[in-house]
Structure 1
Amino acid sequence: MTESTILPAEDYPALASLPRLEALRNFVPDMTEPDSDFDALTAMAATVFQAPVALVTLLDIRDQWFKSAVGVDQTSAPARSSFCAHVIDEAERGELVVLDATKDPRFMSQPFVAAEPFLRFYAGVPILIEGQAVGTVCVFDVQPREQVDPTWLTQLHRLSEMASALLRLKHESRQRALKEAEISREEQRHEMALDAANIGSWLWNIRTGEVSCNHAMTRMFGMEPSVTIQAKDIFAAIHPDDRLAALSRLRTAMANGEEYDGLFRVTKGGRWLLGRGRVHERDSAGRPSVFLGINVDVTEEQTSNQRTRLLLRELNHRVKNTLAMLQSLARQTLRTTSDPKQFMTAFAGRLQAISEAHGLLSDHEWGAIRLSALLHKQLAPHVRDYDRQVEIHKDEILLGPDQAVGLGLVLHELATNAAKYGALTRAEGTVIITARKVDEDGMQVLRMIWTEVGGPPVAEPDRKGFGSILIERSLDKVMGSSVEVQYLPAGVTALVRLPL
């Protein structure tokens, strides 16, 4: 590629925009690495446009990185010689379509147009993060085109919205992991500060096996002070359940020249000890000869912070489960519809339902949320007049994360079906929801009834679609839950049982 084909920065001011670059780097620190989670989006884009090449790209000031690619092997390209730079620079237009690059003065002299692979057609839509265009979802063809079906462009826009949602979910997962790591580091600093007057220090002569240590160290391990202590005695004093992991971490630190950092229990007394150390000396052959370390009693802190760590791990696990759920929903939706437009509509709606539930949970720091808020979030987009068409009779009910996400999907599918085929197809149609908290043998259970009135006559479908299956299975994670849908002539009725 010649220097003349790469335009100067002033020709693409948006590429150098500080807010755009800040959003890109904050949300996608691993922009240079391909990510298979985006492969379903590129595959769908290629299918919709019947194009040999489809990309999900990210652009910094110099490079264009391919997070996912169909039809090409490379993972990056110069940003300022790309078609996508124009999409970023003119993001307010919403899209860029080039029917024949050889007739467009902006692209006719570019290497991939004038030479192999002789690109001709291009369509791209920006990926927006916090209002900033950080990348594109785009397709290429080596054949020019006379026109583009507007519905294809609509689907390309939806794919870019999915890419943006996926980037935000990944960002949330990373932020939670960083928060957990930060809390863990703060715990260690706090523990050492609290126990500064009771630190066990030790020096291990690896060649002889002897360990020299102070009195605090012997007290921690339940040993009597003696002239010499062997390393095997120290290792034997570690709780059997923790011994293998502690030794493994110690060997790894010694082999790699890293700092040893281990947490374990002592069999005698059950105290939790935090061990830190590193190789202090090596022999002429580079083998470790002396290891210097300290132990701090962290029993009280470990006990008091155990619940916090468990909650953070569970929260991170839920985010990962959500990503897996999105992939499963995409695959199942694809299996039940061959029409790309129908797929996009169905999948985007389900993605939005999960996003709405996550938004409510995030606002409440992943604690309990009110049923009334979830009902409004999931039903409001499907009704003309919420106050008139949705009649709710309920107790004050709080839902946990599993209940909220699962019930949110159920409500979305019921509302979608009602808007397509049932009561919400008519202005006079109404959905009546009764939700009561009842006591069943000492267990609190939500019993909810969804009833549609004022709609067209209803008949039970010949076969169940994925939406019906999703209604029945969305609450599988909540033991003892169930959803029964009845297709009564007067309207669909759904009976939900959900342990709280």
Structure 2
Amino acid sequence: MLPMLAGVLGSQDRLGASHASLPDMALPDTDFDALARLAAGLFDAPIALVTLVDQEWQWFKAAVGTTETRMRIKGSFCAHTIAAGGAFVVLDASHHPVFRSRPDVAELPILHFYAGVPILIAGKAVGTVCVFDVAARSEVPKKQIDELRRIGDVAASLLKLKDETSRRAHREGVLLREQQRLAMALQAANVGSWLWDIRAGTVACDGAMMRMFGLQADGTASAKAVFSAIHPDDRAATFAKLRQAMAADEEYDGMFRIRASGRWLLGRGRVHDRDTKGVPLSFLGMTIDVSEQQDAVNRTRLLLKELNHRVKNTLAMLQSLARQTLRQTSDPAEFMAAFAGRLQAISEAHVLLSDYEWGTIRLSELISKQLRPYVSDYAEQVELHKDEILLGPDQAVGLGLVLHELATNAVKYGSLSVPNGKIVLTARGVGEEGGAVLHLTWTEVGGPPVREPRRRGFGSLLIERSLDKIIGSSVKVEYMPAGVTALIRLPL
């Protein structure tokens, strides 16, 4: 192959235009068959081709008079058409200095005549429309070449059209996949979308929106059905916000409940288009299910309200504890030790209640929290026989103080003042006429002999009065020689 010809065929610009216009250039395409037949008829030629040409091969997109689908470009007539960039004609190849030695020219059947025009894409010759004949010709009318050139132009237009169709299909496929991913993401996030046609009175909704509003999932609902699904208590405020957003051309942002399910939804959107007078025609928006977030907000409000109530009660209790403790001692160090212990007992109960969002806590956890600071081996020194008992906030705080005072007394004078002493606790839930009642027995075992004190200190008074807020409760302490016993009755 001539160097100049090889350079043209190997041009990266030409090859790039060729491969970009039709990536599957090696495959025949019946859409080009009519052009090949038209070219053959125009020249009354037995062979006609519509080809695409790369650096090594000439691919037949359509062919008349041959079953071949490709041929090597070396020695090809069409290579010269590509190099010429315009019409190329060989009247008698057997006398042509370049082609006369070609096998299909020198041997039977002999190809004598060739006429071809380039297929131009972006100014680059990417292929040809050509005809062959076994008979030589003396001349070719210019009109025939012009018509062949028009067939080449049609082939180029068809290639461009097929390329654009392919690119559009690819873009549409990408867009469709993006839409599917978006729809899946919105569905996973429980987000619904809608378009309200204000004049028609209809709302086009996706599946998520339909489910949120409890509507039939057919894609379109009447505006009346959608608005009727909103809880009556929230409907007027929702309408007012929508009207305000339309009038001020602002974004609508509002929360409301669904009448049937009671779930909270957050709606956002704005006017999508208006008529020439500025009247809203459609409203585009999205709706998000925020029930869990709203429930969390409501729980937080209730917890803050409960916490405020508990803090007030606790402050009043601490003031009373401080006054009573001061009455028992004038020694600051002794006061701090006694008061700090009682403050810690209240704190431990509060921590447990906070962990359970000021609901109920298990009796066993309260006992463990209050007694562990006073024993070196909880499993050996505290023996617990219990039913599964749940305590409310007032019960937990009051009982926590009782256990603290009993433990403090046991460390100073009772069973926990000696290595082998221990506490035996028996807790039973008993059904009585007024409801369930906790019967808790505190028994000290293995401690020194016990004698009833001559006077009752603040600790004894605190044990008896810590549960005063709970009607029907009582604490009775008995100083038995074998150890202190406390009998606690606490309505649940």
TM-score normalised by length of structure 1: 0.41
Which has the higher Rg, Structure 1 or Structure 2? 2
Which of 1 and 2 has higher RCO (CA within 8 Å, sep 6+)?
Answer: 1
